[in-house]
Structure 1
Amino acid sequence: MTNAHTPERSGNHTAIVYRMVMPKHLCPYGIKLKHLLESKGYNVEDRWLTTREQTDAFKAEHEVKTTPQVFIDGQRVGGHDDTRRFLGLKVADPNATSYVPVLAVFAIAAALALAVSFAAFGSAFTPRAVEWFVAFAMALLAMLKLQDVDRFATMFLGYDLLARRWVPYATIYPFAEALAGILMAARALEWISIPLALFIGSIGGISVFYAVYIQKRELKCACLGGSGRVPLGFVSLIENVVMVAMALWMLFKPMGV
């Protein structure tokens, strides 16, 4: 039973952690719980469940389905999430949508672009850094999709207008995105990369706009390969718009830039 009251967090309180520590399995949540409780000032008694039989007997005795289990001042608090709630800490919702994964991709792409620009020109802030940022972001997003192309394609088919008419396009898309991004980063074979980015970016932008703003559907974006929790919406639309803008820039950029 979980106690909603949070006691004073000091060394005067004792927490007992029962966790699995076996030759072939070391429970990561048990390690996290022990560290969390110690960081909150609890005296932690670390009790190992070293065999499957011992673990099953513990679960049966306390009528619980999982380990680790935490007891504080003689009262069972529960597992990892229950303990975080008991301490007044946030518990992640596995079904909640988040822009953090795609923002992380953009942040790494930006950092790489600035680093390469500095290495090449002695300055991080150059027009080429902007090009590299877009190209690297495309390549990174394509890499995530290519980890499980079938899973990406299944989610992509839910909203992409071309893929719904010609199903193979859903499988081709991540390869096309990767090729366009890599060629743009090198400024090579622009007669391939520019029309390719224009095509997939335009179709993608129209598809996202139609699904989100016309049909007003609530969907998850396939941009991270079908496994992310990024909502389909403004960020997804901007991703496609930037891809098109990059292609147009490379098509009409001033000589010598």
Structure 2
Amino acid sequence: MKIISLVPSYTEILFSLGLDSELIGVTEHCDFPLEAQNIEKIGTFANPDPDKIIDLAPELVCADPALHKQAIAQLRDKGVKVFSPWLQSVKDVLQSMEDLATLSRQQQAVLDVVNPLRERVGRVKEGASGKCRPRVFRVMSDSPVITPGPYSVQYDAIKLAGGTLMPMDDTAYQQVPWEELIRFNPEILLFCGRSKADPKRPRCKGCLSKNPMCQREVDEIITEEWSGVNAVRNNKVYPLSCDVLCRPGVRLIAGIEKLNKYFQGV
């Protein structure tokens, strides 16, 4: 089956499931694993080229239902089969892997990969059950403050790992007023950044931010105004790469396990 992936996480998933030999096109943002960079590019994550996709004659295109809404309509009008489920939980991510197995007719090989991932999630969930659940806040942007909401995979991943999150509206991402964040008083802060030991990430193509969160260290984000927050006072501020939490791929499971270790003993 000839497959094109418009989403970095799906590219990662397809490689992990052993379906990389069927990939004939990916975006310029599909940078993991490194082998993905050798596959023909069909545009960027935000702006794929439908005409180029159609010219490659794929049997399946993996897309994001919100970001690629217009491209999906164009492709389906041309008779191209599109796989674009809404992913709002870790369960959804694992189910999408199984669905790809069915579509690619590689069920058993894929299940051999997916089932151990599901077991790892189950062990973390069981280990977190009945234990004290620290208040956790994920900082995706600091000006304004934006955090994942209940309709996002990140929110679900943090809950599974044993965290208590701020009550929010039913959205994927939400802007949080400063006074509400202070009232919540998180015991752990997670941010899309890097530690001092990590090299600075290259700027993503098309990024318009003057100072991307993913390139910054703790000291550049957690300023004096954060000093009254429990997580800051107790030095419980952790950089967590977008690769293991923002991208709902196979590395998400390792991200959940890492979060669970952070949450223990708070």
TM-score interval, smaller chain: under 0.3
Task: Write 1 or 2 for the structure with the bigger share of helix.
Answer: 1
* Structure number with larger C-alpha Rg: 1
